[in-house]
A and B are shown apart, each in its own frame.
Chain A
Amino acid sequence: MELLSGGEMIARALEDEGVEYLFGYPGGAVLHIYDALFKTSKVPHVLVRHEQAATHAADGYARATGKPGVVLVTSGPGATNAITGIATAYMDSIPMVVLSGQVASHLIGEDAFQETDMVGISRPIVKHSFMIRRAEDIPATIKKAFHIATSGRPGPVVIDIPKDCTRPDEKFEYHYPDAVKLRSYSPAQRGHTGQIRKAAKLLLGAKRPIIYSGGGVIMGESSELLTALARKLNYPVTNTLMGLGAYPATDRQFLGMLGMHGFYEANMAMHHSDVILAVGARFDDRVTNTVGKFCPGAKIIHIDIDPTSISKTVAADIPIVGPVQSVLQDLMEIIDNLQEKEPQLPDATALGRWWQQIEEWRGKHGLWTGRRYGESDRIMPQQVIESLYRTTKGDAYVTSDVGQHQMFAAQYYKFDKPRRWINSGGLGTMGFGLPAAMGVKLAFPDMEVACVTGEGSIQMNIQELSTCTQYNTPIKIINLRNNYLGMVKQWQDMQYEGRYAMSTYEDSLPDFVKLVEAYGHVGMLVTKLEDLDRCMDEAFAMKDKLVFLDIFIDPMEHVYPMHVAPNGAMKDMWLSKNERT
């Protein structure tokens, strides 16, 4: 067996784990590790400009590929800078392994230089964490961390590593385990057959069914199965913000996103349904509106791998704990068998009537593309997303930041494939978009990667323009420039009589074109509608350049529909500034 130091074991274990990229930033506590990486490792390291961006880049990489993102940061400020990104990954169940340096074992607890209790600080926002106590435990711990991060409901795992455990002069026998067994951790592998049978019966007996699917379908690699099930039954499908792409958005059976800014027809169909099949979705408050008024006539089947997601906010009538993939397979089989015996199910007349009703809703409102545009001579944000969709033929990876631009992207870019839409849903982290796009572009250098952002969000991690220069990640940044913290302004318009408390920047915004040029990229200013499509095309034609499109949009536009809150139901929506359901 080989003799390796702690630092070398880390470098080797990452290789043995098949890690493609390591996102990180060096500092005192991790210098032994960095030296080992420098000398021996085949895993490329991406030097970000801020540790938060390392976590977001790893996160973007993970969302796009389905593989875990890997991060290396130093102790103290390095570790605390990583916290927002860890929390972002945690809320959206993204597999990630974060290696953080720690002060030497004998200094722990002494308020030593750059000491923070990383295991303590990160505890509420990790799936699990480890503190290395003996260097020889490093390989097995890394194996466990990857196993926990990627199995069951995925999530971030932190490994805190005291500096002395990585010293170059102490060598150990290196062996990377093939598998791990944890007596206290065994995520469900199959759903309960009895429950699945009940679910199949309920589903086939439905008169007004709807499939409500979420991020779990994407994480569980089950988009095809879900699509097959929906098509087989001819049932309508709605996706959460995290589930977009799990069902092809251009398909007739797709009703669009549901929830606070969901499509009219999706929210109406949910509210009036009699059976809801919830798959890998967690009944978030941005979806349900007032829980007590949630879908009063519906029986709920809930498939989720994490029992805590079930009946947490809305009680499930038929809970099924298990991975979407195997549960959907079992469900399909049972449905096939039932239909053999009772080919008249589901009731075609009832379903026909249901679709008729849905088409009526769809025809009545939809998102009214084109209707409001006439009201303004400015570029409307929706038009920008449509232009992006057209130029990229609907086939780009689109990351976003947080705000109105995020909702417009979610509503107007029709994602037909899973893992193409990459955004922070649960935590809603401004500053996510640019570093995430970097991670995606590194994973798929030949694909188009666009980051839809706002002038507020982009400034939260703008320093990463420099990382993009260093690693040549020619992404396209679409800045929906409304000169406001637009989403905040929208709420202030609607609930605070237009008092824009600290949601404007006055005249302090930088000249973004010059700014990106200073980093060696291309900037384009777009202020007129007639230039929009041409500029979009030109930007994407520059294959090997990062292009920043600073697009001036109508600052007064709001995102609609929007749930009426507080005390509203799924069906209660603002449809425009002066229309309500």
Chain B
Amino acid sequence: MRRIISILLENEPGALSRVIGLFSQRGYNIETLNVAPTEDETLSRLTLTTTGDDKTMEQITKQLNKLVDVVKLVDLTEGAHIERDMMLIKVRASGQMRDEIKRTTDIFRGQIVDVGPNTYTIQLTGTGEKLDSFVAAMAEADILEVVRSGVAGIARGEKVLRL
């Protein structure tokens, strides 16, 4: 099963490598990984998505919690949550494809953020699934580049992950 794990990590050099090292060392997969500073400069917030059976997931969360640099951790998939992945996608856009691409982008509520004589760069935000379907919908177009932020997630309602 796919899980979204959100972590508050000490903003220390080497902390991230401990998290990533754990995954390779113990043979767990990371599908996406997103890390950035938070309002508290001593902490980074990390969201990662991974898959595994219940036993593996239990070990992953226990092993992560055991890392001294991991301050707090939550499995967002255990409750209601919001997940967002951001994609920048550059496609060849010339001739009649220009209109076609614009229309599809509108349907997905994406934005064209850069326009070249023969290219469009589109920005799209949503769940990983939504981004996947957009890429699928672009199958006709000539995709030049895809960049994704990886999933960032947060629990709904009153539930918060903080010190």
Interface of B is mostly: helix
Docked-complex contact B68 and A185, CB < 8 angstroms: yes
Contacting residues, chain B, for A18 (C-beta < 8 A): none
The minimal Cβ–Cβ distance linking B52 to chain A, given in whole angstroms, is 14
| Alpha-carbon gap, A148 to B69, bound state (A) | 12
| Alpha-carbon gap, A461 to B23, bound state (A) | 34
Interchain pairs with CB closer than 8 A, number = 38
Contacting residues, chain B, for A493 (C-beta < 8 A): none
| Alpha-carbon gap, A127 to B163, bound state (A) | 23
| Alpha-carbon gap, A544 to B18, bound state (A) | 47
Tally B residues with Cβ within 8 Å of A. 20
**At the interface, yes or no: A308 with Cβ under 8 Å from chain B?**
yes
Contacting residues, chain B, for A120 (C-beta < 8 A): 14, 17
Docked-complex contact A311 and B71, CB < 8 angstroms: no
Contacting residues, chain B, for A306 (C-beta < 8 A): 66
- Which of B55-63, B134-142, B153-161 lines the interface with chain A? B55-63
Docked-complex contact A307 and B66, CB < 8 angstroms: yes
* Complex interface bits, A298-333 against B, C-beta within 8 A gives 1, otherwise 0: 000000001110011001000000000000000000
Q: Which residue of A lies closest to B15 (CB)?
A: A184
Docked-complex contact B68 and A119, CB < 8 angstroms: no
Give the contacts of B1-27 with A (CB-CB under 8 A). Answer: 10, 13-14, 17-18, 21, 25
| Alpha-carbon gap, A312 to B58, bound state (A) | 9
Give the contacts of B60-95 with A (CB-CB under 8 A). Answer: 62-63, 65-66, 68-72
Docked-complex contact B66 and A311, CB < 8 angstroms: no
Which residue of the partner chain, among B10, B17, B55, contacts A184 with CB atoms under 8 Å?
B10
Which residue of the partner chain, among A124, A182, A183, A308, contacts B62 with CB atoms under 8 Å?
A308
Q: Assuming A120-B17, A123-B17, A123-B18, is B59 touching A308 (CB within 8 A)?
A: yes
| Alpha-carbon gap, A1 to B58, bound state (A) | 49
Docked-complex contact B71 and A124, CB < 8 angstroms: no
Docked-complex contact B58 and A311, CB < 8 angstroms: yes
Give the contacts of A102-157 with B (CB-CB under 8 A). Answer: 119-120, 123-124, 127-129, 131, 133, 148
The minimal Cβ–Cβ distance linking A323 to chain B, given in whole angstroms, is 16
Docked-complex contact A148 and B21, CB < 8 angstroms: no
**A interface residues, Cβ below 8 angstroms from B:** 119-120, 123-124, 127-129, 131, 133, 148, 182-185, 306-308, 311-312, 315
**B interface residues, Cβ below 8 angstroms from A:** 10, 13-14, 17-18, 21, 25, 55, 58-59, 62-63, 65-66, 68-72, 163
Can you name 28 A-B pairs with beta carbons within 8 Å? A119-B14, A120-B14, A120-B17, A123-B14, A123-B17, A123-B18, A123-B21, A124-B25, A127-B68, A128-B68, A131-B13, A133-B13, A148-B68, A182-B68, A184-B68, A184-B70, A184-B71, A185-B68, A306-B66, A307-B62, A308-B59, A308-B62, A308-B63, A308-B66, A311-B55, A311-B58, A312-B59, A315-B55
In the complex, besides A119-B14, A128-B68, 10 extra interface pairs with C-beta distance below 8 angstroms are A124-B21, A127-B68, A133-B13, A182-B68, A183-B163, A184-B71, A307-B62, A308-B59, A308-B63, A312-B59
